[in-house]
Amino acid sequence: MSQKDKLPNRRQKILDFIQDFMQDNGIPPTVRDIQKACEISSTSVVDYNLRLLDRDGFLNRRPEMARGIELLGASGTHGANTLKVPIVGSIAAGSPIPVFPNEMDSQNADFDFIEISSEVNRKYGTVFALEVKGTSMIDALIDDGDVVLVQPTPNVEQGEMAVAWIADREEATLKKFYVEGDKVRLQPANSAMGPIYCQAKNVEVRGKVVGVIRKY
DNA sequence: CATCGTCAAGACGCGACCCT
DNA sequence: AGGGTCGCGTCTTGACGATG
């Protein structure tokens, strides 16, 4: 059935663009973004091609939702290059909750595992997964119950999504991270919620989000 | 109202057949 | 072989409904 992985030009271009776009912006493009970028005369062509890419397992589309594209791994390479990552705990996207998993006491509990493309591993090294609680990152298309892939690192760029540990509250939270002078702004991606301001020394970055996996 | 995803109808290109 | 036509994949135009 499915042939060699020689995608038609247009499909490959669309796939590449989505990949780039998500890297640059952290969110998937709209159909019309793709249309412009790939010089396609109509959104239906984009839709048509996305449908095929969906069918062939290059991406998932979330119906009834804007920007509902999820890229699946293994574009170009052979499929089945996946590896399992433990979901080591949950992270609050709402108000902070005082649980943050110790990555290493993962042995005794029976964790859920989630399969990701091994490209992620190649790119970011070891990552771990956290289940998201709350909806404060909904505008970044991270919903309650979704799983984020986190690269353990203390370094995040301005505006990147980070797992932040607020020392004096002993709470961890998932927010967009901005340094503003000697303060840190933890910004939810949800227009209904306001940012949290903290002293920079009071905030410790535990890792940054490098991927999102949606769950049903 | 602007943005976004989806759909219906039809056109075009191309290869696979089929015929005289 | 040369010409007709059918099917299929792809694309265009244009419009609709949902959402914020």
- Residues A113 and A152 reside in one and the same domain: yes
Catalytic site includes residue A175? yes
CATH of the domain at A62: 1.10.10.10
Q: Which of A71, A90, A123 is the last residue of a domain?
A: A71
Instruction: Please state whether the predicted TM-score (pTM) of the whole model is above 0.85.
Output: no
Phi, psi at A195, each rounded to 5°: -75, 165
- Which residues in 20-79 of chain A line strand C, with CB less than 7 A from it? 40-45, 48-49, 52, 64
A41-83 residue pLDDT tens: 788 888 888 877 777 767 777 655 656 666 665 444 444 455 6
Q: Which of A71, A96, A126 is the last residue of a domain?
A: A71
Q: Which residue has the higher pLDDT, A212 or A1?
A: A212
**Nearest Cα to Cα of residue A162 among A199, A116, A130:** A130
- Residues A35 and A125 reside in one and the same domain: no
**The total number of structural domains that make up chain A:** 2
Q: Which of A39, A71, A103 is the last residue of a domain?
A: A71
Interatomic CA distance for residues A161 and A137, integer angstroms: 9
Chain B bases near protein Cβ (<7 Å): 3-9
Mean of pLDDT values over A192-210:
86
- Residues A193 and A133 reside in one and the same domain: yes
Catalytic site includes residue A208? no
- Residues A67 and A92 reside in one and the same domain: no
Residue A84 has pLDDT above 80, yes or no: no
Name the residue range of residue A113's domain. 82-213
Q: Which nucleotide is nearest to A48 (CA to C1')?
A: C10
Q: Which nucleotide is nearest to A11 (CA to C1')?
A: C10
The reply to whether A77 falls in a domain is no
Set A136, A176, A191, A201: catalytic member: A136
Q: Which residue has the higher pLDDT, A68 or A27?
A: A27
The reply to whether A76 falls in a domain is no
A158 CA to centre of own chain? 17
